[in-house]
Structures are given as C-alpha cells and as structure tokens.
C-alpha cells in the first residue's frame, strides 16, 4: 500500500476538475483574444472562471490576474510593485527569512540586479514574524513588504492583518504569498490590508501550471510580460483556458467544502502527531512550528538522532511519500532555510520531516501508516 503525505508539494486533481478540463480540451478550442464565436466562447470561460474565483476570495474580478502558478505570481507581484514604487522614490524591500524561495530569491535578485535595498526579518522559534519587528524597519523609502500567510514547511500562520495595517500606513505595498492557505482559510480580500496576494491551483486539487495574483485597485504595478493586451495588459500571452477553468472548479469545491475539510484535516494532523508520539520511544519526536496557530494540513516533525535523508529514503521504500521541506528545494542536500531561520538546534534541523495531508487521506490510512513510521524510527535508533 502507498501513502501520499506530501500534499503541500502538490495535490491530486479532483475528479470534477479533471472532468471540467477534459470537456474543454476535447472541444473545438478557441483563442480568448479572437473575435469569432469560438474565441468569444473561450473568453466566456475565462470570464466566468475569474468571476467565480473573485467571489470566493472576496475581490473584484478585475483585480484578479491569471498566471502560470505561485512562482510567477510572486515574481510578478514583487518585481511589478517594486519597479512601480521606485518611480515614486521608494527603493527598499522587506521580507522574512522564512519565505518561500520564490519570494526570497526574487527579493535578492532585485537587490543584486536592480539596486534595491533589502531587509530580511528574522522569525522566532515557531516561525512567526512579529509586527513590531516589521514596524522597526519600515522607512519612507520602503517600497514593498512581502510576508507569507501560512508557511509551506512548518504551517505557521502569520499575523498578516496586523502587519498589513502597519505596511499600508507607511505608504508601502504589502504582498502576501497565500499559496498554502487558499482552501484552508476563508478570505475577504476587500476587507484585508493586503495589496497583492499570490495563489496556485495545484495546491487545492487543481491543475499544475496555473495560478492567480490579486492586485487591489490602485496598487502601483508594472507588468512583467509584454506583448498582447490579455489580462488588462498586465500579463501578455494566450490564456490557459482549460487550466483556468480547472482552477475555478477547484476553488468552487474548496469554498463549498472548506469547513468540513478544515475540521477533518485538523483531526488527521492531531491523530498523526499523537499516534507517532505514542509509538516512538524516548520522547524522540518534536513538533516544529506553532502548535495552535497553524495550517491544518501540515506537520513538521524532527525524529531526533535520525538524519532526514535516511528517514525519507526508508519512508519511500515503505511506500510513504513525505518531504524534507519545500518541493522546490527538497531535491538538494541543503538543510531547510526555514528551520535554520527558526534557530532550531542541529539535532532538530538534521532530522526534520514534513508530512502534509489532503484529498484521499483517511484516519484509517494514518492509523495504518503510523506503526510503519514508528517501526522505521525505532529500528534506526536501535542500530545507532
């Protein structure tokens, strides 16, 4: 039996999403920019999808820009807002040390290649960014502040409302990477102090290769891509009609099932932690992140004394898919930059494994998998 516990990396597509996309893919086609009937039909699918997603997250349809995924949304937000703000005399960027690399590396690129000043804020042992820390570094020249909503490695949820109020009061633009929280938390973007927010379809049982960027009305923004007039001239290029429709279907399912899903994910998460702590000897399991203010589907655990790479290899051989951190970097030998930023001990840093749950996982499945994980841990410890 195989166990997929890596939903934070990517999720299986929901059958209704597949059905929606296949119907469009098998249709006659049509470019949304064409004036004939097939082009108008494609444009209609895009517009209806945009309307549905905008309603679900509480913004105007015109404030929603479709992209190729979370990384592009982060890049477009940061580079687009930073360049626009520089025209207003602002050249300072603020982010945190626990951001996804799509944000961190983009901020570093802006500093190295375009001359922006960069401040990287620390996080505490639970991965939290403290609003007072943000306030201390804000200055009249601050252009953009980027703080993620829910951490993709440890699940910690950031106080974006408190941070956003401080940022907007300073005249800076506030960007939030919300890739992990879409589908896990409720949004009313029109009431949040957020200028830009990034989303990705494949984290919510939608297709890979499509995402969205919320750009609140009046936010300074320069497009990253130039060419046609698609997406109100904010992102040139022929739209991925089937992907966008699949994304909208996935969002619709998330909205309808969010409360039930959240409760179930919470139950899976607590069951997993409790069962492993019961089965593994010597209190050798430590939870990384915030135990309460956290995403319901992510669990990051350190198995003290066992190297992460060894643990992941043994888990894989036993048919259990887990991760060492972000899927974008888990193929490398580098230790998690998030856990390093949290200041964890070497023992915790070197033995951390992320489990993340979602569509298809059951309590029975976790009850079956927990003894397998515990057996691996106890055998490795006995050998050590």
Check if the beta carbon of residue 198 is closer than 8 Å to that of residue 70. yes
Query: In the numeric block, which tokens belong to residue 384?
Result: 């050590």
Residue 9's nearest CA partner among 297, 253, 276 is 297
Pair of tokens at residue 155: 């699940």
The count of C-alpha atoms lying within 13 angstroms of the C-alpha of 41, restricted to the half-sphere facing its C-beta, is 9
Sheet with 285-288, strands from edge to edge, namely 285-288, 298-303, 352-356
Cα–chain-centroid distance for residue 254? Answer: 15
Nearest to 73 by CA among 195, 180, 211, 178: 211
Nearest CA-CA partner of 178 in 209, 212, 127, 219 = 212
**Do 295 and 179 touch, CB atoms closer than 8 A?**
no
- d(CA 190, CA 179) in angstroms, rounded, equals 18
Distance of CA 31 to the CA centre of its chain: 30
Question: Would you call 59 a catalytic residue per the annotation?
Answer: no
Cβ-contact 93, 116 below 8 angstroms: yes
Give the integer Cα–Cα distance in Å for 6 and 9: 6
Distance set, CA 247 to CA 163, 292, 328, 374 (Å): 29, 30, 21, 37
Strand, helix or coil at 32?
coil
The two beta strands, 298-303 and 352-356, are antiparallel
Rounded to whole angstroms, the Cα distance separating 65 from 265 reads 29
Residues in the chain: 384
Pairing of strands 211-215, 196-200: antiparallel
Q: Which residues are the active-site residues? A: 328
């Amino acid at each position: 039996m195989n166990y997929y516990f890596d939903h934070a990396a990517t999720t299986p597509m929901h059958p209704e999403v597949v059905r929606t996309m296949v119907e469009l893919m098998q249709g006659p086609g049509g470019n949304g920019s064409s004036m004939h009937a097939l082009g108008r039909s494609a444009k209609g699918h895009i517009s209806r999808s945009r309307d549905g997603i905008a309603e679900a997250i509480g913004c105007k349809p015109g404030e929603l820009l479709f992209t190729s995924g979370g990384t592009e949304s982060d890049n477009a937000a940061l580079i687009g807002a930073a360049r626009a703000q520089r025209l207003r005399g602002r050249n300072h960027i603020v982010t945190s040390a626990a951001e996804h690399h799509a944000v961190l590396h983009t901020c570093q690129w802006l500093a190295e290649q375009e001359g922006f000043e960069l401040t990287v804020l620390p996080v505490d042992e639970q991965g939290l960014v403290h609003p007072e820390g943000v306030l201390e570094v804000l200055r009249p020249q601050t252009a953009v502040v980027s703080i993620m909503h829910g951490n993709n490695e440890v699940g910690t949820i950031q106080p974006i409302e408190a941070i956003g109020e401080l940022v907007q009061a300073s005249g800076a633009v506030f960007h939030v990477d919300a890739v992990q929280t879409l589908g896990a938390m409720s949004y009313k973007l029109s009431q949040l102090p957020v200028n830009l927010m990034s989303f990705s379809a494949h984290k919510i049982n939608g297709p890979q290769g499509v995402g969205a960027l919320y750009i609140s009305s009046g936010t300074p923004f320069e497009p990253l891509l130039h060419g046609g007039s698609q997406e109100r001239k904010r992102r040139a290029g022929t739209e991925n009609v089937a992907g966008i429709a699949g994304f909208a279907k996935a969002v619709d399912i998330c909205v309808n099932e969010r409360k039930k899903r959240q409760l179930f994910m919470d139950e899976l998460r607590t069951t997993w932690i409790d069962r492993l702590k019961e089965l593994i000897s010597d209190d050798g399991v430590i939870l990384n992140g915030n135990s309460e203010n956290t995403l319901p589907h992510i669990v990051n655990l350190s198995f003290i004394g066992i190297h992460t790479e060894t643990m992941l290899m043994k888990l894989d051989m036993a048919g259990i898919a887990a991760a060492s951190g972000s899927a974008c970097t888990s193929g490398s030998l580098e230790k998690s930059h998030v856990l390093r930023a949290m200041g964890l001990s070497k023992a915790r840093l070197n033995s951390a494994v992320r489990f993340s749950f979602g569509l298809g996982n059951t309590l029975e499945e976790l009850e079956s998998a927990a003894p397998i994980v515990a057996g691996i841990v106890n055998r490795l410890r006995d050998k050590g």
